[in-house]
């Protein structure tokens, strides 16, 4: 079975993605391949950050790997926090810090439309390369997933992570944090991006 390094040590992400990829790929997290330290995330787009993180792993291992970056884009906030979602409340903030800031900023706001977007960047060694990367001997591919919904006025549910307790996807009456993992994986932004990755891995490998 193909082995991929996932550029994270986030146990929640690893659990979600491993479940979705278990039939076609063996996932290794950073600690399992002896990598530690802060991965840079200085790009201005989700695509840029995903590429930056995947390249950080590839340059240190030379092995096939992938990274994701996710942003919560809130219409009333002009698309914020977007690429800064993980550090919305400042460097070294917690999930609760981010949720608290979002609830405070959205207090009294009637337009609560929002969307989650995930971009996955996959880097694979290749014999011939591709036009943009042929001199380096690897290929780069992107897979995107999106889900629309609303920001709730308070937390609901104990599951999930990040903004899950205050995000309710369209056509559902519960937050991501109230959903069983298999349901969330089927309809979430990350689930949709991973589904495209799985489709590629099954057809191309």
Distance of alpha carbon 29 from alpha carbon 4, whole angstroms: 9
- Positive or negative CA dihedral for 39, 42, 58, 70? positive
Distance of alpha carbon 12 from alpha carbon 185, whole angstroms: 12
**Catalytic annotation, residues:** 69
DSSP element (H, E) containing 124: strand 113-125
Distance of alpha carbon 185 from alpha carbon 189, whole angstroms: 8
Distance of alpha carbon 181 from alpha carbon 81, whole angstroms: 25
């Amino acid at each position: 079975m193909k082995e991929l390094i996932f550029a994270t040590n986030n146990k929640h992400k690893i659990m979600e993605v491993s479940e979705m990829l278990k039939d076609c790929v063996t996932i290794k997290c950073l600690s399992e391949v002896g990598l530690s330290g802060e991965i840079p995330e200085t790009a201005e787009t989700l695509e840029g950050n995903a590429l930056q993180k995947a390249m950080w792993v590839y340059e240190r291992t030379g092995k096939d790997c992938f990274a994701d970056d996710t942003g919560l884009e809130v219409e009333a906030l002009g698309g914020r926090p977007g690429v800064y979602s993980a550090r919305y409340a400042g460097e070294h903030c917690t999930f609760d810090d981010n949720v608290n800031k979002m609830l405070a900023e959205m207090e009294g706001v009637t337009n609560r439309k929002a969307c989650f977007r995930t971009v996955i960047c996959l880097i694979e060694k290749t014999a011939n390369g591709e036009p943009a990367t042929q001199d380096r001997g690897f290929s780069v591919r992107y897979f995107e997933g999106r889900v629309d919904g609303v920001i709730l006025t308070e937390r609901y549910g104990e599951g999930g992570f990040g903004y899950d307790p205050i995000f309710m996807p369209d056509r559902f009456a519960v937050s991501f944090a109230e959903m069983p993992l298999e349901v969330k994986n089927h309809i979430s932004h990350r689930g949709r991006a991973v589904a495209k990755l799985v489709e590629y891995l099954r057809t191309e490998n």
